[in-house]
Amino acid sequence: MKFIETLLVTDKIENLELHNKRMNKTRKDFFSAKPLNLQNYVKIIPNKRVRVTYSKEIEKIEYFDLSKREFKSFKLVYSDIDYHYKYADRTALNALKQPEFDEIIIIKDGFVTDTTISNLAFFNGKVWHTPKNPLLKGTKREELINKGLLIEKDIALSDIKKYKKFAMLNAVIGFYERDIQCISF
């Protein structure tokens, strides 16, 4: 079983502590492995997206130029997928994609979870809510919860239209806001 961590490197590894925490929890759960520190493996090359592939040990580190992607259209997709760990094998997630849309929003058990590449947050005009039970607890999501900028909440499918806008969030894209009208129901 292989897993990945996707990091943003600026003049440092962004959210290093949270990435280490998630990676080491996965390694402990699957391999009873002792903690590692990504800082000892990842080179500081500014403005790179870094993919670390690991199992019990770090297996591969890849560096990519940052490229800005546009997400203009989203499709709601129903699935009972389980993605509590950041598996290297993304076959099940990729199978959910809809080619005519830039990204999908996964609905599980009647509630909003994530996209295939990010957590989500929804703005009601006063506060940002993030799904209480995402597919994967991302590091950017955890950072924003810890700072009090996101509040966890069950977001039912029927709740989506009550929000004014939403955002994709992950380690590389940060906080990417979109209008609710981008979503095809």
Average pLDDT along the chain, 185 residues, taken 10 residues at a time: 97 98 98 97 97 98 94 97 96 96 97 98 98 97 97 97 97 96 91
Residue 50 is predicted with a pLDDT of: 98
3-class secondary-structure state, position 161? helix
- pTM attached to this predicted model: 0.94
Residue 105 is predicted with a pLDDT of: 98
Nearest residue to 105 via CA among 163, 175, 171, 167: 167
3-class secondary-structure state, position 151? strand
Contact 56, 38 (CB under 8 A): no
Q: How many CB atoms lie within 10 A of CB 64?
A: 11
- Report the distance separating Cα 22 and Cα 39, nearest Å: 14
- Report the distance separating Cα 3 and Cα 115, nearest Å: 18
Tokens describing residue 32: 């009873």
Nearest residue to 93 via CA among 74, 114, 73, 112: 114
Residue 185 is predicted with a pLDDT of: 85
Count of residues for the chain?
185
Residue 160 is predicted with a pLDDT of: 96
